[in-house]
C-alpha cells in the first residue's frame, strides 16, 4: 500500500497544482492548446518509442492480455449501451455517456501511473498491450457517436474508411508500431539520438499532468449528476472489474494483469470532449465528466493497484 500511495499522491498533486496554476493565469488558452499538441503529438510518442524500442518485444507482448482488454471493453460497451436504452436521455447525451464510460485517458494518466509505478519492462508491456485498447476504444467511441447522431439525420451514413483512417494515424499507435519494429529488428539506436529522445521524452509526463490539471473545470455538476455518476461507475469500477475477471478466465500472466488494470482504470479521456464537439454529442456533459472522472480516478487507482498488486512481481 505504501508504494501505491507514494506513486498516486504525487501524480495527482501535480494535476491539482496544474489546476491552481491555471487559476493564477499560467495556462492561457493559446498556450494550453499549443502545449497539448506538443505533448500529444511529440513528447509522449517519443517517450513511448524510446521505451518500446529498447524492450524485448517477444517478452513484452501477451496476446491473452491484449485479448482480455479488448473483450473487457466490448463487454462494458454492451452493458452501458443496454443501460442507456432504459434512460430517457436524448440521443446525443446517450452517445457521450457511452463513450465516456469506455474511453480512457491512456496517454496522459494511465501511462503516467504505469511509468512511475512499474519498472521499465512493465511500462513497455503497458504501452504494447495498450495499443490494442487504444484501437478498440477509439473505434467504439466514434462508432457510437456516428450511430446516434446519424439516427437523427437519416441521410447521413457512417464513413467507416474515414473512421479507420483517423484511428490509424493516432500518434501513440504510430510510435508504438515504430518502437516494435526497432525492437524486432534489434536495430541499435546511436547514443546521440538516444540521448536526444530521452531529453524530449522527459517533458512528456510532467507537462501532461499539468495540462490535465489546467483542463479541470467541474461546471454545472448538478445538471449532469446522473449521467456523470453512471459514466464513472462504468469507467472506474465496472470496466476494470470486467477486465480483472477476464484476465483470470484467460489465465493472463500475472506480470500483465497489473498493466491491464492500470489501462482499464484510466479516467475518461479528454478526447471525449473533442469528439462530442466534432460529432455533435453533448460537449457540456463530456467536459464536466472528464474533470470529475480525473479527480475520482485517484481513489480508483488506489483500489485497483491494491487488488492488482497481490502476487505481482513485475
The DSSP annotation for 114-155 comes to HHHHS-HHHHHHHHHHHHHHHHHHHHHHHHHHHHHHHHT-TT
Q: What is the pLDDT of residues 194-239, one digit of tens each?
A: 999 999 999 999 999 999 999 888 767 788 899 999 999 999 999 9
Strand partners for 305: none
CA–CA dist 203, 195 (Å, integer): 13
- Domains of the chain: which residue ranges? 2-308
CA 227 to chain centroid:
20
* Segment 283-310 mean pLDDT: 92
Distant-in-sequence, close-in-space partners of 57: CB < 8 Å, separation ≥ 6: 128, 180, 183, 184
Out of 221-225, 284-288, 307-311, give the one with best mean pLDDT: 284-288
| pLDDT number for residue 182 | 92
Beta bridge mates, 285: none
CATH number assigned to the domain with residue range 2-308, chosen from the 4 options 1.20.1530.20, 1.10.150.130, 1.10.3470.10, 3.30.200.20: 1.20.1530.20
Task: Give 141-151 pLDDT, tens digit per residue.
Answer: 877 877 776 55
pLDDT digit string (tens) for 97-154?
A: 999 999 999 989 999 999 999 998 999 999 999 999 998 988 888 778 777 765 555 4
Pairwise CA distance, residues 146 & 29, whole Å: 29
Q: What is the pLDDT of residue 313?
A: 40
Q: Round the CA-based radius of gyration of the chain to a whole number and report it.
A: 19
- Max CA pair span of the chain: 59
- The pLDDT value given to residue 116: 95
Alpha-carbon distance of 239 to 167, in angstroms, equals 22
Across the range 241-270, mean pLDDT stands at 94
The model's pLDDT over 49-76, given as tens digits with 9 standing for 90+, comes to: 999 998 888 888 899 999 999 999 999 9
User: How far out from the chain centre does Cα 262 lie?
Assistant: 9
Amino acid at each position: 500500500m505504501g508504494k501505491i500511495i507514494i506513486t498516486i499522491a504525487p501524480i495527482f498533486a501535480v494535476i491539482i497544482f496544474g489546476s491552481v496554476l491555471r487559476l493564477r493565469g499560467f495556462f492561457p488558452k493559446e498556450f494550453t492548446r499549443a502545449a497539448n499538441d506538443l505533448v500529444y503529438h511529440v513528447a509522449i510518442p517519443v517517450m513511448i518509442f524510446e521505451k518500446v524500442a529498447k524492450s524485448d518485444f517477444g517478452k513484452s507482448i501477451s496476446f491473452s492480455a491484449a485479448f482480455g482488454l479488448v473483450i473487457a471493453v466490448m463487454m462494458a460497451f454492451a452493458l452501458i449501451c443496454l443501460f442507456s436504452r432504459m434512460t430517457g436521455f436524448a440521443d446525443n447525451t446517450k452517445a457521450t455517456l457511452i463513450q465516456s464510460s469506455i474511453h480512457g485517458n491512456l496517454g496522459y494518466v494511465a501511462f503516467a501511473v504505469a511509468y512511475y509505478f512499474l519498472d521499465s519492462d512493465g511500462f513497455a508491456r503497458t504501452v504494447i498491450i495498450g495499443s490494442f485498447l487504444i484501437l478498440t476504444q477509439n473505434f467504439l467511441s466514434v462508432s457510437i457517436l456516428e450511430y446516434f447522431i446519424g439516427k437523427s439525420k437519416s441521410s447521413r451514413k457512417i464513413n467507416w474508411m474515414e473512421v479507420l483512417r483517423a484511428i490509424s494515424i493516432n500518434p501513440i499507435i504510430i510510435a508504438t508500431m515504430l518502437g516494435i519494429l526497432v525492437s524486432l529488428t534489434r536495430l541499435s539506436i546511436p547514443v546521440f539520438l538516444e540521448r536526444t529522445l530521452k531529453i524530449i521524452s522527459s517533458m512528456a509526463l510532467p507537462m501532461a499532468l499539468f495540462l490535465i490539471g489546467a483542463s479541470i473545470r467541474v461546471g454545472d455538476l448538478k445538471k449532469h449528476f446522473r449521467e456523470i455518476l453512471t459514466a464513472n461507475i462504468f469507467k472506474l469500477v465496472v470496466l476494470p472489474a470486467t477486465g480483472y475477471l477476464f484476465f483470470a478466465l484467460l489465465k493472463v500472466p500475472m506480470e500483465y494483469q497489473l498493466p491491464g488494470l492500470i489501462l482499464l482504470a484510466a479516467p475518461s479521456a479528454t478526447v471525449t470532449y473533442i469528439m462530442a464537439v466534432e460529432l455533435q454529442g453533448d460537449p457540456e456533459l463530456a467536459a464536466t465528466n472528464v474533470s470529475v472522472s480525473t479527480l475520482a480516478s485517484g481513489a480508483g487507482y488506489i483500489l485497483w493497484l491494491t487488488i492488482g498488486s497481490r502476487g505481482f512481481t513485475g
